[in-house]
Amino acid sequence: MMLNKRNLLFSAMMIAIFQLSPGDNFLFAQVDPTELEFGSNVSRRGTTAAAMLEIGVGARAVALGNAFVATADDPSALYWNSAGSVQLRNFALQATKTEWLVGTNFSTVDMVVPMPSFSSALGFHLAVLDYGENPVRTVTRPEGTGELYSAMDYVAGLYWALSITDRVSVGLGLKYFHENIWHVNGSAVAGDLGILFKTPLQGLRLGGTLSNLGPEFGLSGRDLTRIADVDGRRDVYYNNNNVAIDYATQTYGLPLMFRFGVAYEQTISDKSSLTFAGNVNHPSNDVETIDLGMEARVFNMIFMRAGYRSLFSDVAEDGLTLGGGINYKIAGGALITVDYAWADWGLLSNVNRFTIGISAY
């Protein structure tokens, strides 16, 4: 009983001390909760793998500032919005060569085969990012060992699009991505979804896409095998310090991208028009941005384009895009298209794209 009274007395004294002591000088002073707050504006930049899947396809689309989701009326639609490939009434094939950043080369081939009897179209997309050859360097031989290593990414995709009505079409794609760095490689399978809506308002189109939906991606290979003292205590136990170990790399998600696009074509004459387009981008590894573009068609033969990408991004290096193209009909019912795009990448210099295509008419 005496012990309980002493405990109660001690507790009362401690409570009084806490209440009477100045908050700023006492060791156990309460902390203002607002001082513990922290920012939550996280962009998630650099948190995904397979960056190659984010490189735009086709000189025309890039010259429009990537605002091509609601237009999507040439073979590059397989990348931007596969639902738009049903707009192609005849077989079409196009190839793009891109002088990509830091001396790398990015090449694509896109093919669309319409199936009008089924109100649908099939498409095949192939893209390759070649890093070239580089010297093998080690800690002890930083100038190089005399060996060269190569690195390459590629993606191959099969696409199907269907016209549900004369105004609404949908697209579905399945693609295989592979990355190889010398003797280390990894792969993943991903899917793309797209929808295109031609509104009752003449010339106005809406589109939406979800790209790169798939599992996480990781690397493995013999270059990750090393000889080491596993427990680091050979000097103590005189154990084997030449044990082969395999480093396990962490897996990362693919760059999931949701795009919503709008495009409006204002007809000036039978052979001339102006098209205005825009995209709203919501990526899984960056902040939301907006792309804008404009295209002028003259005599159904000459095209002039301009655009701007990544509006409202605080750190984007890409921005202004310019380009043009020519369509030329040749004997035998073939249409040849040649397009060029220039894109400003700030500190990373400029990027040039050339696209050549052929289709029936």
pLDDT tens for 29-41 read 455 655 555 555 6
Q: Are 239 and 233 in contact (CB under 8 A)?
A: yes
- For the chain, the domains span 51-217+252-360
pLDDT for position 32 = 61
Three-point CA angle 85, 91, 93, nearest 5°: 80
More confident residue, 171 or 314: 171
**Domain 51-217+252-360 CATH superfamily:** Outer membrane protein transport protein (OMPP1/FadL/TodX) (2.40.160.60)
Distance (Å, rounded) from C-alpha 317 to C-alpha 203? 32
Please report, for residues 17, 18, 25, 36, 340, the alpha-carbon distance to residue 29 in angstroms, rounded to integers and kept in the order given. 11, 8, 7, 15, 67
What does the pLDDT look like over 321-334, one tens digit per residue?
999 999 999 877 89
pLDDT at 162 over 90: yes
At 164, phi and psi to the nearest 5?
Answer: -75, -45
For the whole model, what pTM was predicted? 0.84
Please report how many Cα atoms fall inside a 13 Å half-sphere around the Cα of residue 359, on the Cβ side.
24
